[in-house]
């Protein structure tokens, strides 16, 4: 279960507002970019939060991959988004696919600033 977990915290996103507010638009982006990256979507689930004080609510969701998962949370109040891409390298090294998927999602959101981190999950020893 050795794998690579990428995180990105996005600020001042300048992409389409639909990618902050509309679960369908985010799901469509994610499914398309998962496929382009050569990863396998097994299922996905999305929740749209009610807004408050006249502001629209954000969206939270995950795509369950054969290789692990993609997760996105949006905060339209602040123009912020967090993204996780976690791939297991159980049967193949999927690291380059994980980077490609993260890069594609970031390109869609167009953040003015992004904080990226990564951690190695598990170890080779079983």
Residues annotated catalytic, as ranges: 68, 73, 88
Q: How far is the CB of 14 from its own copies (least distance, A)?
A: 15
CB of 55 to its own copies, least distance (A): 13
Residue carrying the six token digits 């496929």: 35
Closest distance to its own copies from the beta carbon of 36 (Å): 21
- Can you give the binding site for its own copies, defined by CB under 8 A? 1, 3, 5, 7, 9, 11, 42-47, 49, 60-62, 64-66, 68-69, 71, 73, 75, 78, 80, 82, 84, 86, 88, 90, 115, 117, 119, 121-123, 126
DSSP 91: S
How far lies 68's CA from each of 42, 89, 110, in Å?
Answer: 10, 9, 25
Which is nearest to 90 in space by CA: 20, 46, 40?
40
Q: Is 12 helix (H, G, I), strand (E, B) or coil?
A: strand
């Amino acid at each position: 279960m050795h794998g690579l977990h990428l995180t990105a915290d996005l600020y001042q996103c300048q992409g389409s507002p639909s990618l902050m507010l509309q679960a369908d638009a985010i799901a469509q982006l994610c499914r398309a970019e998962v496929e382009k990256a050569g990863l396998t979507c097994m299922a996905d689930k999305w929740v749209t939060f009610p807004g408050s004080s006249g502001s629209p609510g954000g969206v939270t969701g995950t795509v369950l991959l054969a290789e692990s998962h993609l997760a996105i949370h949006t905060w339209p109040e602040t123009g912020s988004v967090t993204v996780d891409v976690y791939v297991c390298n159980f049967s193949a090294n999927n690291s380059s696919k994980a980077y490609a998927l993260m890069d594609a999602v970031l390109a869609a959101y167009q953040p003015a600033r992004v904080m990226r981190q990564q951690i190695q999950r598990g170890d080779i020893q079983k």
